[in-house]
Amino acid sequence: PPPGLSSLLPPREFLRSRKGQLLLAESVLSFIIFICYIASLAASFMMAPLLEFLLALFLFFAYASKLNEKFKGVHWPLADFLRCVTAAIIYFAISIAAVSKYSDGASKAAGVFGFAATIVFAIDFYITFNDLVTFLKQGSSDSPEGHKTEDEDSDSDSD
């Protein structure tokens, strides 16, 4: 392929990583659900999968191009965790509504794909939560405030 086109594609290492595969699955499922809601009687639910598709696609390319390493001001794991938690809850709720309230096939398909997306987002937020906890534990042991209080305690003991 020409060099311009290959620069737009994510690296193979990222596509093989767990995070890359989860973000790709979230993007594909969200797009399929969006299309199903457009074709269904439950078209009022189409905004949630559209937003989740765009957010998952943005994070896919942000992680693939290593924007998370370039922009340190954004707490990427926390933002990703909150996105996954809210997506799982929203997909679960609208999937129940789509399956129980509407009788057309597209609504039922959107609900079934929505339940699959709920599982994928739940797996992603579980993995992200474990990474976030590990990150916070490392940050608390390396914090200068912890060392400061130990130094003040030793000074007060010597008085």
Average pLDDT by consecutive 10-residue portion of the chain (159 residues)?
A: 65 84 94 95 91 92 84 82 94 94 93 96 92 78 49 50
At 3 the pLDDT is 65
What pLDDT shows up at residue 23? 92
Tokens 């400061």 correspond to 148
Residue 157, classed as helix, strand or coil, is: helix
- Establish if 116 belongs to a structural domain: yes
How many domains, in total, are found in the chain? Answer: 1
Q: Is residue 20 part of a domain?
A: yes
Let me know if residue 154 belongs to a domain: no
- What is the predicted pLDDT for the residue at 123? 95
Q: Is residue 152 part of a domain?
A: no
Give the pLDDT score at 92. Answer: 96
129: domain range?
12-65+75-139
pLDDT at 30: 96
Alpha carbon distance 46, 44 (integer Å): 6
Could you tell me if 121 and 140 are in contact, meaning their C-beta atoms sit under 8 angstroms apart? no
In a domain, residue 128? The reply is: yes
In a domain, 52, yes or no: yes
Q: Is the residue at 7 inside a domain?
A: no
Asked if residue 158 is part of any domain, the answer here is: no
pLDDT value for 140: 64
Query: pTM for the full model?
Result: 0.78
